Amino acid sequence: MKKTLATLATAAMLTLAPGWAAAGDKPATIKAVGTWGSLTNYQKHEGPFWNERIAEASGGSIIGDIKPQTELGLKGFEIMRLIKNGVFDFAFGLPGYVAAENAIFEGGDLSSVTQDIATQRKVADAYFPTLEKSFAEIYNAKLLMLYPFPSQMLWCNAEVNSLADLKGKKVRVYATTLGDFVEGVGGTSVTVPFAEVIPALEKGVVDCGITGTMSAYKAKWHQVATHAYTLRVGWGLAFGAMNMDKWNSLSDDQKAVLNKEITALTDRMWQETATEDDVAISCITGGKCDIGEAGAMKLVKPSAEDLAARDTVANDVILARWAKRCGAECADNWNKTVGVILGLTAKAE
């Protein structure tokens, strides 16, 4: 019924709206792919934006059709290649998933260097022009937005009460920079698909897994993990990008409304994510939980000593390794943009 009503509403706008459709613009259909269908970003933002909001805002001039990567059977790593080849017109995804092709994509979300969301937004804004240029050159894509998932933390089925306790532990990671963090604190990084983390924790294949706070709760990691170590090791910074040929095919009016609506969408997503950490951590550690059944993991907050040790790892391992992967020019650009905000320097040997 909801789908029918939305279709009827769109048809009515195409007939009655005095805007672009009536003015003669050919309606543009955008075939999009979203992130994880079970999580807030898709359910409350990505999905409704393309399936409903953009048609309403454009007076029917832009019609969206989106499905999450989970429903499409995609893992995330292949999404930008599909955008480049025109299989999809628009994609939401994580730069960390495309960083294997070029380390420059890691620069907006290097592990553990940002511990609060306000600073992370400044980092994202500062690094946007760099990523915009790289998306255009490497994927023939127009970068339109950067937004965060809830912060990435460590969930362990082992006794982890400090950063030092990660030494010797096997930790699931999904990005190179996260592996740099784990190895920098003396652990072993292990790449495990998200869907396989629970059995990996149960069988001892890994001692800990890194993922976002709400992702860990929704996937019920608390049913197998015992310790929630809440040092922020990343933000799951995500992007929204459109195939450049598709973007260029839009009229100036269509581009204007799309830019306006995506700017508003970006603000909503940053605001939403700012509240999700506390909700998810409370739920996963046996606190107040209005969104489902509470878990019983032990809450472990990083100490001042942990944060000081993190600073050393960030400088000596994470930034140093990334600068080596990305090169001197890339590192110099980072220092002039993100580095200024964080007071950090990436030095390429």
What DSSP assignment string belongs to 280-295?
HHHHHTTS--SSS---
Q: Which residues of the chain have pLDDT under 70?
A: 1-25
Strands (E), the chain: 28-34, 62-68, 90-93, 141-147, 152-156, 170-173, 188-191, 208-212, 227-234, 238-243, 298-300
pLDDT of residue 24: 53
Residue range(s) of every CATH 3.40.190.170 domain in the chain: 2-149+236-276, 152-233+291-342
**Cα separation of 246 and 35, whole Å?**
20
Q: Please give the model's pTM, rounded to 2 decimal places.
A: 0.88
**What backbone phi and psi angles, to 5 degrees, belong to 139?**
-120, 5
**Cα separation of 145 and 128, whole Å?**
8
Domain 152-233+291-342 of CATH type 1.50.40.10: no
**96 token code pair:** 């960390």
pLDDT of residue 3: 44
Maximum alpha-carbon separation in the chain? 66
pLDDT of residue 25: 66
Q: CA nearest 262: which of 137, 133, 130, 128? A: 128
Domain spanning 2-149+236-276, CATH architecture: 3-Layer(aba) Sandwich (3.40)
- Conformational region of residue 192, where left means phi above 0, alpha means psi within -120 to 50, and beta covers everything else: beta
User: Integer distance in angstroms from the first to the last C-alpha of the chain?
Assistant: 61
pLDDT of residue 26: 85
pLDDT of residue 101: 79
**Cα separation of 331 and 302, whole Å?**
29
